[in-house]
Amino acid sequence: MVKDFAARHGSALRSFAVLGASLATAAAVVVGVVLAVFFAATVVVIALMASALLAFAGLAMRARRTARARQRADGVIEARHLGGHHWVAYGWNERS
C-alpha cells in the first residue's frame, strides 16, 4: 500500500489543478450567463425601439392621409375658430 501511494507522485499539485479548473469553469459559466442576459436585454431594447418606430410611422401615414383628405382643389383654405381671437388655418402654405 505504501508502494502504491509513493507511485502516485504529484497528487498535491493535481488537487490544486482540479481546484483551479473548477474555479475557471465557474467563472466561464458566470461570464456566459452575464453575456446571455446582456444580449437578451439588447434584443428587447431593439424590439421596443423598432415597435415605437413602426407606431410613429403609422401615425405619420394616418396624418398624411387625413391632411390630403382635407385639402380642397379650388384653393380655398380651411380655418377653425378656437375661441376668442384665435383661428387656425390649414392649407394656406400648400402649393397647388
In a domain, 13, yes or no: yes
In a domain, 16, yes or no: yes
The tens digit of pLDDT for each residue in 69-83 reads 555 566 666 778 888
pTM above 0.95, yes or no: no
CA gap 80, 78 in Å, rounded: 7
The dihedral built from the CA positions of residue 44, 46, 47 and 52, taken in this order, carries a sign that is: positive
In a domain, 57, yes or no: yes
How many domains would you assign to the chain? 1
User: What DSSP character marks residue 24?
Assistant: H
Q: What is the mean pLDDT of residues 59-75?
A: 73
Average pLDDT of every residue of the chain = 82
Domain that holds residue 73: 2-90
In a domain, 83, yes or no: yes
Whether residue 19 is predicted with pLDDT greater than 80 in this model: the reply is yes
Residue type, 35: L
In a domain, 76, yes or no: yes
CA gap 74, 22 in Å, rounded: 82
